[in-house]
Amino acid sequence: MISVSDCLSAISDDKSLALFNAIALANTNTNILLSKFQLTRKQYYSRLSNLSDAGLIKRKNGRYLITSFGEIVYKAQELIGQAVQCSAKLKVIDSIDLSGFPASERNKLVDTLITKNEIKKILIPIDLDAGHQARDGEKIYSSGLTPTIATK
């Protein structure tokens, strides 16, 4: 069974993450990856072993390929990268949250500041057609399947 910490540990250093991303993006020759990331053979294969043990990649016909689980982790770390790129804007939103701004004004600010739709979906509560209205202190989030209500 793979744990979250095993998965995160496998991509926790810059070179492992870059290697994982390279495998996710293309079928690349081993020699190219070794020279591109300036890794010794031992470092390279140790990182590949960690990625494989975490279920992120697999070896097939001498090539390393991303697994279905790896694709999900790849997309999640892409989202984290987008959040890092807009971290200054997220700090502005946090300061607005602390000041007691009305939710509608906060949502307008998020919509104006944040250009990535994936991040907007996380930050802006959705309205439910089922008639449930968010009360004070509640935010309604959508994971794509069923809405979840979180209280502050």
Question: Residue 87 has what pLDDT?
Answer: 94
Mean pLDDT of 7-32: 85
Cα Rg, the chain, nearest whole Å: 20
Indicate whether 2 pLDDT > 90: no
Question: Residue 27 has what pLDDT?
Answer: 61
Percentage above 90 pLDDT, the chain: 48
Mean pLDDT of 26-50: 81
The interaxial angle of helices 14-25 and 41-53, nearest 10 deg, is 70
For residues 118 and 34, which has the higher predicted lDDT (pLDDT)? 118
Q: Which amino acid is at 112?
A: T
For residues 151 and 44, which has the higher predicted lDDT (pLDDT)? 44
Tell me how far apart the terminal alpha carbons of the chain are, to the nearest angstrom.
Answer: 33
Cβ neighbour number for residue 117 with a 10 Å cutoff: 8
- 77-109, pLDDT tens digit by residue? 999 999 999 999 999 999 888 887 888 888 899
Question: Residue 57 has what pLDDT?
Answer: 94
**DSSP-assigned letter for residue 38:** T
Nearest to 103 by CA among 118, 132, 128, 125: 125
Helix, strand or coil for residue 147? strand
* Phi, then psi, of 106 in degrees rounded to 5: -60, -45
Question: Residue 60 has what pLDDT?
Answer: 87
